[in-house]
Amino acid sequence: MTIVVGYVPTKEGRAALRRAVQECLARGIGLVVVNTVRPGKSFDAEASSSFDEELRSLSGQLAAAGLTHEIRESSTTGDAAEDLIAVADELNAEAIVIGLRRRTPVGKLILGSNAQKILLDASCPVLAVKAGPEG
């Protein structure tokens, strides 16, 4: 069995990852990290290089913790929620872990809610994690 976590280089993404690692170690199962970053205006070549380095470092940290893991790139569908659900279904995941951030009602209306889609459409349990004050 495995746990799937959606990861972006934000305090919410890091909080989700920390919790997913805790769950995997407690349950003695593997972790699949799905990189759900979407390149865009605020994601230039420098940010992309920095994020790639962060993913390499992350892989080393997970291996050092003795955690069986895999890091996957999100597909080209453009929908992070669909990507996470598809990976979880493919692997018959025990759970999906996601990070949550506060959004305004207008932000939810315009941009939709990946978290809501995952919570409602996933066929396995979903653990939603808020970032603490430490990030």
pLDDT digits (tens, 9 = 90+) for 92-125: 999 999 998 776 666 555 455 888 899 999 999 9
Look at 86 and 40; give whichever has higher pLDDT: 86
Instruction: For residues 53 and 60, give the distance between their C-alpha atoms in angstroms, rounded to a whole number.
Output: 11
pLDDT, mean over the chain: 83
Q: Residue 131: how many CB atoms within 10 A of its CB?
A: 17
Per the rule left: phi > 0, alpha: psi between -120 and 50, beta: everything else, 6 is: beta
Instruction: For residues 74 and 133, give the distance between their C-alpha atoms in angstroms, rounded to a whole number.
Output: 28
- pLDDT band, very low/low/confident/very high, at 41 (cuts 50, 70, 90): very low
Q: Which domains does the chain have, with CATH numbers?
A: 2-130 (3.40.50.620)
Global pTM?
0.84
Single-letter residue type at 123: S
Instruction: For residues 107 and 58, give the distance between their C-alpha atoms in angstroms, rounded to a whole number.
Output: 30
Q: Residues 40-55: what's their mean pLDDT?
A: 64
Q: Residues 71-94: what's their mean pLDDT?
A: 86
The whole-number pLDDT of residue 135 equals 53
